[in-house]
Structure 1
C-alpha cells in the first residue's frame, strides 16, 4: 500500500505502515511522529471567522476520536503555529477521516 499523504502550504502529513508523520517543510526541526493508535488531531477555532490552529498529538485514550479530538484529551500536542482558514478545515477533515479509517478510529462529525 502506498503512503497516504496530504500537503498544505508548508505542511506535509504522511501515514505509512501504521505510523503518522508531520513535517513543517520550512523548518527541519519541526516534525512529529506517532503510531496511529495514539494519534489525535483537531483544528481549534477561537472565533468563527478567524483561522483556527491545527493541533496534532498523542491522545490519553486510544478510543478517543482521531480527528475532532477534544484538546483536553491530548497527552501531548504539537501546535507548530499552523493556521487553517475556516474554509480549508474540510480538507484536513477529509484527510484525517481517511487516516481514521486505516486506524479503525472515529472522527467527530459536528
Structure 2
C-alpha cells in the first residue's frame, strides 16, 4: 500500500505502515503510531481561522480527529491557521487515517 499523504501550504502529513509523520518547513518533525494519534482544528472564535493540533491522546479510545483539546496528552501546533473553509480538507484526510487505523472521528 502506498503512503497516504496530505499537503497544505508548507505542511506535509504522511501515514505509512501504522505510523503518522508530520513535516513542516522550519519546524520540528513528529512521528506517532496511529493508535496514539490525535488531531483537530480548534476554533476559538467562529469568524477566525482555527489552529491545527496534532499529537498523542490520553485515552486510546478517543477519536483520532475531534474537537476536544483536553483529549491530548502531548500536542504540537504548527504555526499557521486553518480557515474554516479548509477544515473539511483536514477532516477528510484524518477520516481516511482513522479508517486505516480502525479508529473514529467526531
Query: What TM-score do you get using the length of structure 2 for normalisation?
Result: 0.97
RMSD: 0.9
SS of match in other structure, 1:40: strand
Which 5+ residue runs of structure 2 have no aligned equivalent? none
SS of match in other structure, 2:35: helix
Structure 2 partner of 1:46: 44
Which 5+ residue runs of structure 1 have no aligned equivalent? none
Paired with 1:100 and 1:69, the residues of 2 have a C-alpha distance of 15
Structure 2 partner of 1:32: 30
- Asked if 1:94 corresponds to 2:92, the answer is yes
Structure 1 partner of 2:73: 75
Residues 66-90 of structure 1: CA deviation (Å, up to 9, x unaligned): 0015111100000122210000000
Matched-pair contact (CA < 8 Å) for 1:30–1:80: no
Paired with 1:89 and 1:65, the residues of 2 have a C-alpha distance of 17
Aligned length: 106
Query: What TM-score do you get using the length of structure 1 for normalisation?
Result: 0.93
Structure 1 partner of 2:5: 5
